[in-house]
């Protein structure tokens, strides 16, 4: 009896439709979030993340409606984010049906946001998303969808985020995102060792071996991917059976 490693599909949306791109650019349509959510719920995904990567103010009501429709399909936890800058933004997302909120750029701009969210919803509901890019011997925090380098050390930021009340770190390797070359094991391991909260590894997954590696060698508690699940390149059930056969604890729903 032990806490299992989680497999988390991620829906990057423009508010209404799922989109995908490589290294955060060149987006194209990848389907209806509600249809995909229902499929992942049935296939044994452990959680679902829905992001509004456009995060424009005028599209917000559309995104909230998307969260509502997605949440209605799920009997698993839902994390939502993208463009959450204030406690009120987060309240709207939670009211629409999200169990957890993820923040990224807005938390870098104003770290106190993490404490505010944690105070209201509890640490277990606050996921600090960090987009990290390798710079010589360390990783730096990128913001605005991986476009701008802040010069902030990713490990120090993860530690600060946890001390402010983040209950989980969603760690994306900007270098690996969209490349399908596998997760950044060194990055994941460095952050997982540095913080006391669960770490979700993201960016670069394609093969089942990539997942085995990030759980076994990277110390990740969960692993997130998008397009390989959307395109059925990697069915979730098959992935979990692969991991279970390698003695990695997963949940195999009957």
Partner 1 sequence: MKVTLIDYGAGNVASVERALQRLGAESQRAATAESLGSAEALILPGVGHFAALIRALDERGLRAPLLNALRRGVSFLGICLGLQALYDSSEEAPELHGLRIFPGRIGALPASVKLPHMGWNQLRLVGKSRLLQGIAPEAHFYFAHSYAVRADGTAHSVATCTHGSEFLAVLEQDNINAVQFHPEKSGAPGAQLLSNFLRLAA
Instruction: Indicate which residues carry an active-site annotation.
Output: 12, 131
Kindly tell me which of 117 and 143 has the beta carbon lying closer to partner 1.
Answer: 117
236 binds partner 1 (CB under 8 A): no
197 binds partner 1 (CB under 8 A): yes
CA distance 229 to 119: 34
Q: Which residues ranging from 5 to 44 are in contact with partner 1 (CB under 8 A)?
A: 6, 41
88 binds partner 1 (CB under 8 A): no
Crossing angle of the two packed helices 33-43 and 60-71, in degrees rounded to 10: 30
213 within 8 A of 178, measured Cβ to Cβ: no
Shortest Å, Cβ 113 to partner 1: 17
72 binds partner 1 (CB under 8 A): yes
240 binds partner 1 (CB under 8 A): no
Q: Which residues ranging from 109 to 148 are in contact with partner 1 (CB under 8 A)?
A: 119-125
Kindly tell me which of 30 and 74 has the beta carbon lying closer to partner 1.
Answer: 74
Shortest Å, Cβ 245 to partner 1: 17
233 within 8 A of 185, measured Cβ to Cβ: no
Write out 7-34 in H/E/C secondary structure. Answer: EEEEEEECCCCEEEEECCEEEEEEECHH
245 binds partner 1 (CB under 8 A): no
Q: Which of the ranges 22-30, 67-75, 130-138, 179-187 carries the binding residues for partner 1, by CB under 8 A?
A: 67-75
The structure tokens 């890019």 sit at: 133
Distance of CA 88 to the CA centre of its chain: 21
198 within 8 A of 223, measured Cβ to Cβ: no
193 binds partner 1 (CB under 8 A): no
Q: What is the DSSP track for 40-105? A: HHHHT-S-EEEEESS--GGGHHHHHHHHHHHHTT-SS-EEEESS--SHHHHHHHHHHT-SEEEESH
Q: Which of the ranges 2-10, 31-39, 134-142, 174-182 carries the binding residues for partner 1, by CB under 8 A?
A: 2-10
CA distance 242 to 235: 11
Kindly tell me which of 79 and 234 has the beta carbon lying closer to partner 1.
Answer: 79
In terms of Cα–Cα distance, which of 106, 233, 224 is closest to 173?
224
Q: Contacting partner 1 (CB under 8 A), which of 15, 145, 161, 167?
A: 167
Helices (H), 72-201: 87-96, 105-109, 112-121, 154-164, 185-194
Q: How many residues of this chain interact with partner 1, rule: CB under 8 A?
A: 33
Q: Contacting partner 1 (CB under 8 A), which of 12, 52, 140, 168?
A: 168
89 binds partner 1 (CB under 8 A): no
> What is the binding site for partner 1 (CB under 8 A)?
1-4, 6, 41, 46, 71-72, 74-77, 95, 97, 99, 119-125, 167-168, 196-198, 221-222, 251, 253-254
């Amino acid at each position: 009896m032990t806490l299992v490693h989680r497999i988390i599909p991620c829906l990057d949306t423009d508010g209404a439709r799922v989109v995908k791109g490589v290294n955060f650019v060149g987006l194209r349509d990848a389907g209806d979030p509600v249809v995909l959510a229902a499929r992942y719920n049935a296939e044994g995904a452990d959680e679902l993340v829905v992001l509004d990567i456009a995060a424009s103010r005028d599209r917000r009501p559309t995104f909230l409606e998307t969260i509502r429709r997605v949440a209605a399909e799920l009997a698993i936890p839902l994390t939502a984010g993208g463009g959450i800058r204030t406690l009120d933004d987060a309240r709207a997302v939670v009211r629409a049906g999200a169990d957890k909120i993820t923040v990224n750029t807005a938390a870098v701009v104003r770290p106190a946001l993490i404490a505010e969210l944690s105070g209201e919803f509890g640490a277990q509901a606050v996921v600090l998303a960090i987009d990290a890019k390798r710079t010589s011997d360390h990783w730096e925090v990128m913001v605005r969808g991986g476009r701008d380098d802040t010069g902030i050390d990713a490990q120090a930021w993860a530690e600060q985020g946890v001390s402010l009340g983040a209950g989980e770190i969603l760690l994306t390797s900007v270098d690996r995102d969209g490349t399908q070359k596998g997760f950044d094991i060194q990055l994941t391991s460095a952050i997982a060792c540095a913080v006391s909260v669960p770490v979700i590894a993201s960016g670069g997954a394609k093969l089942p071996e990539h997942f085995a590696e990030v759980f076994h060698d990277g110390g990740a508690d969960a692993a997130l991917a998008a397009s390989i699940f959307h395109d059925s390149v990697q069915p979730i059930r098959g992935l979990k059976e692969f991991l279970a056969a390698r003695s990695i604890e997963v949940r195999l729903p009957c």
